[in-house]
Structure 1
């Protein structure tokens, strides 16, 4: 069982990677067809992950339960990222990150209707506030690379990602986090191969720009390997809703990064909508945050 400091470091690292990954995705498709950028991401990530398994001497189980877990984990990779990459044509990197802030609410809805978990009135209120914030963003960003179709794509992406968390937890395979990440990348690579006949006409006919290549390799190393290792490590050691809370902390960081590094100018209405959405998430998590503070106080007294 990892120590609390180890889990905290993993948590912070995951937040940083997820705050910067949306911009890396946007930059990677600037000189590549968006589906080829996604496919190449897994083609490059798989051999690197396999070499790491060998170097670190990590066992890679291939029993039925483990294979099931790899399939479930792939939904947080290619299953979710297909929608995200398509959404780059309709949304800025900051808004893409902001949409992933809805993961806790999506996880709550999946838990309520798929696993009969109870949701309090405050959680339902938080959901409604967050949806109101999302509506403000849609109406306030019509002329700023924020289109409703892109919002719909990202809702599908967030749903698939959130479903993956519950699925991996339910399978509960006894697999090392790095092996789980590699297995999920393997399944994602097989899915990427299946995409090739549909995108072959867009095969790159030139060497992409340095900016696009650097962003692609950042997505491979940081988002597909290191982040997935952190993600599956946290899946095995903390609750699904707590893991989803990481995406609440990334949006404002991502909006700032997008504005500074990619000149993404957002209107006051969009920022107002983002504030309302994040406030809704705060209301949604208020009881959990209060309970965590009480537990921390009791632990400190002991």
Structure 2
């Protein structure tokens, strides 16, 4: 698959992920929503690997990759799904939109990528945007404040995972990576569901079933694999640049499909974050525009 096609497909999937998470926890509780998603994704990914005859290795380098991708993804997803119960899907996407900033910061430590003054300014503007959002009237309850912090920590954890996978640099097929990490962490999701005592839901609406099915197949099997494919072919910072676009598209989808009110202060904070990301990724944006115009 061409890298450009994979990039556009990832933008679409990431734009819809926050709404899918929100819909999958509205009726079921966050543990059932995430556990069912990952179990189905595990089955589907192994089926893809069997049909396409993709070998899933369990050598030392592969296991390091599965751990870096899987365990940190488990922490990130648990925090995000819990937070999704209390805040709008658009806000989840905005918080994950800070990913390029954290990715750039960790890449400067682990991958020796330069963290320039411009990137520092972008980081500070992104933090300022978060502060503005935190003071929005949307966040009127204590649970919402904790939810924002949980999702933000989830975004930071995802950035650590991205840089760690890039640092390992294992030549593994993207579907094999997805199958390996899910094999490693699905038991953790099931144990968490069992420990915290959330039972099987009495009933599931068509919307919830659709959301869980979409998150299992498209967001997990295809989305994870595309993400690992892009990491193999692009710098970690360029992959994280996708999150410059998805906060706005996700907020618009939340408004149109889930009737989520968006406070003007949240839009102002989002604008600050996006401006900070644009400054942070200025060189990459300029290079991309030059290629498009040439």
Query: If the length of structure 2 is used for normalisation, what is the TM-score?
Result: 0.93
Alignment of 1:152-191 (within 5 A): 152-191=149-188
Q: Deviations along 1:234-279, whole A, 9 cap, x unmatched? A: 0111000000001111010000000011111111111111111111
Cα distance in structure 2, aligned partners of 1:174 and 1:287: 28
Matched, 1:232 2:228: yes
Root-mean-square deviation (Å) = 1.9
Matches within 5 A, 1:71-220: 71-75=67-71, 77-143=73-139, 147-199=144-196, 201-220=197-216
Gaps of 5+ in 1: none
Give the Å deviation of 1:147: 2.9
Question: Shift of residue 294 of structure 1?
Answer: 5.3
Aligned residues: 293
SS in 2 for 1:140: coil
CA distance in 2, matches of 1:178, 1:259: 33
Question: Contact (CA 8 Å) 2:98, 2:155: kept in 1 or not?
Answer: yes
Unaligned runs of 5+ in 2: none
Residue by residue over 1:77-100, the C-alpha shift from the partner in whole angstroms, topping out at 9 and shown as x without a partner, is 323111110111231100001111
1:38-90 deviation per Cα after TM superposition (whole angstroms, max 9, x unaligned): 11111111111111111111111111111111111114632311111011123
Verify the 8 A CA contact 1:77 1:185 in the aligned structure 2.
no
Q: 1:278 to 1:234 in 2, by over 3 A?
A: same
Query: How far off is 1:115 after superposition?
Result: 4.7
CA distance in 2, matches of 1:238, 1:175: 15
SS in 2 for 1:147: helix
Q: C-alpha offsets along residues 183-221 of structure 1, whole Å, 9 cap, x if unaligned?
A: 11111212213314312x211142312111111111101
Tell me the distance in 2 between the aligned counterparts of 1:230 and 1:36: 25
Q: Distance in 2 between matches of 1:119 and 1:46?
A: 37
Q: Is the 8 A contact 1:84 1:153 kept in 2?
A: yes
Q: Which residue of 2 aligns with 1:14?
A: 10
TM-score by length of 1: 0.91
Pairing partner for 2:30 from 27, 31, 34:
34
Asked if the contact 1:73–1:168 (Cα under 8 Å) also holds between the matched residues in 2, the reply is yes
- SS at the partner of 1:60? coil
